[in-house]
Structure 1
Amino acid sequence: MNISQLEYLLEVARVGNISVASQNLFVSQAGISQAITSLEEELGTKIFKRSRAGAILTEHGKQIVTKAEEVLAKVQELKEFSTLPNTKNQEEIKLALTPGVYPVLLKNLSWYKSKYPDVLIKINEGESMALHEDIKTFKSDIGVIGTYKYSNLNTSDIFFEEIFKTKIKILVSKNSPFASVGKMTPQEFVNQPVVLYNSQTFLNFLKPFKSKFGDVKDLFISNNLDTVKNLIIEEDAVSLFTEVFLKTDPDILKGNLIPITLTNYDQDYISYGIVYSRKKNQSTAFKQLVEFLKEELVVFC
């Protein structure tokens, strides 16, 4: 149990939705979901009832929230007691991450913070092309994004360095008949109910399907990652995710969701890399954060 878990718990309890809480806290939905699941396992009780409508506290969960509020209040008292006046100018770096890479990078970010304690890092999670636009408009300073057949990322204003390549997998429920087979053809895919996370990467990937295999029979698109996963698990829908996501999502690691291969289709790789504005003033801390991100992304190679 740690302080971050309690903070996530209180925010989800306050807004009643993991997706909204993730936006408010600048933490990925997967990260919050995994933290709460771990807390429930440690305490041996269910804190929330989760559904497509949101997250509702159980009776025991309400008591745990009250205790968590008391603990965090004491933590805040300790911080206020120990904090000395700080006259240093604090540098702020806004970091933009896609959901798949977020958990791995966040886990080791403490090393960077120990080296640059006066740097405030604000993290935003989102879809790759939206994050790319944030870099262009200076809403974010550094991004880690993935691109599919997107050729003009490296421009006179924007720098993009590819770190690794990955492919797209189909995601099905553990109860799906395709789970045991481990593969699905494009013809079979377009005849399934398909739910997609609202990402231009996946929409671009589907474009060739229309001319070669016809329209997807039933297509649902959502900005909420938990909604996508719930529809796969509960409604036997199928989805598309990159191999990056498969290494970090708790539902996949627990076997509730099963990645399978798209056969009889020669797909292009998706490139993941670092992106930032060439116009951004690059401090030593900024450059070191870029190098840190490059080193951490090697785990996906």
Structure 2
Amino acid sequence: MCGQTETNEAFVDIKHLKKYFNVHKGLLHAVDDVTLTIPKGKTLGLVGESVCGKSTLGRVVIGLIEATGGEVLFDGEDALKFNKEQRSEFRKRAQIVFQDPFSSLNPRMSVSQLIAEPLLINKACSDKKEMDVKIKTLMDTVGLAERLATSFPHELDGGRRQRIGIARALALDPEFIVLDEPVSALDVCIQAQILNLLGDLQRDRDYTYLFISHDLSVVRYVSDEVAVMYLGQVVEKAGNTVLFKEPLHPYTQALLSAVPVIDLDNKNKRILLEGDVPSPINPPSGCRFAGRCAYRQEICQKETPTLTEIEPGHFVSCHFTRHLERHK
């Protein structure tokens, strides 16, 4: 999905964002000092293993979960400091599409009622006639037949249910949408339909997306830039083409080596990571990937690497990579 705008100015600017949870064993570092930017009309893909903090980050960014620290700037305004009235207005500008299209919908509400709900809550329509027109327009936009207006979620397949979720997200004409694993619960054919729909909407309306997924093939298809998370931290961020062609962080290299390739002459070997993932509760000092990294050195156990720009637009958080770049 490539937006039409040519500007690189950040529309969403996430600075040193943190989200910690108090649990009985200590402090769980779900999101730990994450800094990211997303230009207007572009898609940032966010990838990583399960429980690395991707979904938590998305929910904190749009205000579903309260942040522990940091800033989330939208057009220069810090959304984390909004008062109740400002936050109500902000929710119209920032929406989310959830992973499971069935559990995120009220099973007792029909398609038309589900799409109407955000319009009613925000008093977006002056009368029933305007509401009916808006619902029909939204259904047409996401490819839902008018005959399905009185159907219930359990009567529809996964693709149609996800289209309802997308219609709800579009109801208030947002500018920024968090797409949290929006196609992972769907089969391949339906995935393609939903991804094409999201791409068409972005091109037509200049939406800005944060696309969260564990599927690197999908992320490669939809994203302008890609950020890789590991245990609550971003370890690499680059343009789509650069990251998939020249990954620098050992964790990114391992992830990409696991992507199936239909090429009998492909000589790239699968990188098997050894060791266990550290606990996000009171995580160890130094690099959190060090225990699984084949290139670890003494400094990796003692000093936490920072996300550094190795080359224009390519950021990596790794002592070893920086050493190579300085001496290559």
Normalised to the residue count of structure 1, the TM-score between the two structures is 0.26
Normalised to the residue count of structure 2, the TM-score between the two structures is 0.25
Structure 1 or 2: more helix by fraction: 1
